[in-house]
Structure 1
Amino acid sequence: MHETDKSTDGFRKKTFTVSSFYESAMRLGRSLPQLAHARRGDRVDDAFAEKIMLSTTAVNECQYCTRFHTSLAREAGIDQATIDQILESDVEAAVDDAERPALLFAQRYAEADGNPGPDARAALREAYDPETAADIRAFVHAIYFGNLLGNTYDAARLTISKRTRATRRRLDWVVDAVDGVLTHLREKCPV
């Protein structure tokens, strides 16, 4: 579904393919009304939402989402030790029993490329009422999309940068070769 770049470029994070981007964008679009509803509701407070965001981001390792949601988590009152535990995927130690199922679902969702499986879905339904579970899924859909979008941007920048450097080296070689030929011709034909 999503691609982990295993090329020699050295970028090893999950990124979008064309088809996975379309699929994820459609899933996000379907979950936007629920996300807006979740943000207005009080079932998932800001601190809990940021823990969910960080838990998903810990798996996907998006540098932009990590910085942004770490900052929002601090603003929501989450201490740095808890943030660090979540970013190290140590959910068991980071949160209490009430929040743990949501964070484990978020991790599983990210690990399984958006398809956490029936057991993870059932665990979420058992732990929360239907509206809260829907809110949690909406947060997870949104951050997962953001994570892969950030990673895809980084992969594209890296690829372009490497190609630019390679092209520059080839161009330098051509310029040096032409300069060498011209120098040689000047020495042979002093016209």
Structure 2
Amino acid sequence: MSDHLPRPTYQDFTRQAPDIYAALSALTRGVDASGLDKGLTELVKLRVSQINACAFCLKFHLGVARKAGVPQEKLDLLAAWPDAGVFSERERAALAFAEDLTVLDGAAASDDAWAAVRAHFSQDEAMFLTVTVGAINAWNRIGIGLRFVPPAG
């Protein structure tokens, strides 16, 4: 059995699974329409993609984060966000919650992480933040499983 069987590219995925692509994209559009800050959601997507080691999503969302006006210093220090000193309390709560939902360790997301998020986010915002984390985790697993090559540029 060959270890080098070809896998679908990102373009193949969008072409061969258009309904799935549309459904995943609709999650992002729904969060964007909620009014939750785009820079914040992009930081969350980047952190989750770092944890999951999804090169495709990292490259993609770095570009989106830059367009959303996320400062380069935050992008540079995201992997070490707890000690970086450049993230707001709201961002820190979101990043901690995103990590908690991404690295489940066989347990449900902690009450402490939820309480920290709710201290800085309304219930609706926390719900949309949760959708953001779930959606990027889904994209990461698809991108990793199919070994999507990061976009050029």
Structures share fold, TM-score greater than 0.5: yes
Sequence identity (%): 27
2:54 aligns to what? 62
Asked if 2 retains the 8 angstrom alpha-carbon contact of 1:34 and 1:135, the reply is no
Structure 2 residue runs of 5 or longer lacking an equivalent are 4-22
* TM-score (normalised: structure 2): 0.70
Q: How does 1:83-98 map to 2 (within 5 A)?
A: 83-86=75-78, 88-93=79-84, 94-98=86-90
- The Cα shift of 1:82 comes to 1.0
* TM-score (normalised: structure 1): 0.57
Matched, 1:145 2:138: yes
Sort the Cα spacing of 1:146 and 1:33 in 2 relative to 1 into closer, same or farther, 3 A.
closer
Tell me which amino acid in the other structure corresponds to 1:116.
A
Sort the Cα spacing of 1:34 and 1:60 in 2 relative to 1 into closer, same or farther, 3 A.
closer
Larger Rg, first or second structure (1 or 2): 1
Structure 1 residue runs of 5 or longer lacking an equivalent are 1-8, 10-28, 158-191
Q: How does 1:44-55 map to 2 (within 5 A)?
A: 44-55=36-47
Deviations 1:32-90 (A, max 9, x none): 87754421122x1211110111121121110000000001011111122211211x242
Deviations 1:126-151 (A, max 9, x none): 33210110010010110011111111
Asked if 2 retains the 8 angstrom alpha-carbon contact of 1:56 and 1:107, the reply is yes
1:131 aligns to what? 124
Pick from 31, 37, 44 the counterpart of residue 38 of structure 1: 31
Asked if 2 retains the 8 angstrom alpha-carbon contact of 1:34 and 1:138, the reply is yes
Q: Distance in 1 between matches of 2:62 and 2:83?
A: 19
Asked if 2 retains the 8 angstrom alpha-carbon contact of 1:53 and 1:143, the reply is yes
Matched, 1:116 2:109: yes
Sort the Cα spacing of 1:110 and 1:70 in 2 relative to 1 into closer, same or farther, 3 A.
same
1:81 aligns to what? 73
Highest relative contact order (Cα 8 Å, sep 6+), 1 or 2? 2
Misfit runs of 4+, over 4 Å: 31-36
Q: Distance in 2 between matches of 1:66 and 1:115?
A: 26
Asked if 1 retains the 8 angstrom alpha-carbon contact of 2:90 and 2:117, the reply is no
Tell me which amino acid in the other structure corresponds to 2:32.
R
Aligned residue pairs total 126
2:13 aligns to what? none
SS at match of 2:48: helix
Tell me which amino acid in the other structure corresponds to 1:138.
V
Asked if 2 retains the 8 angstrom alpha-carbon contact of 1:59 and 1:89, the reply is no
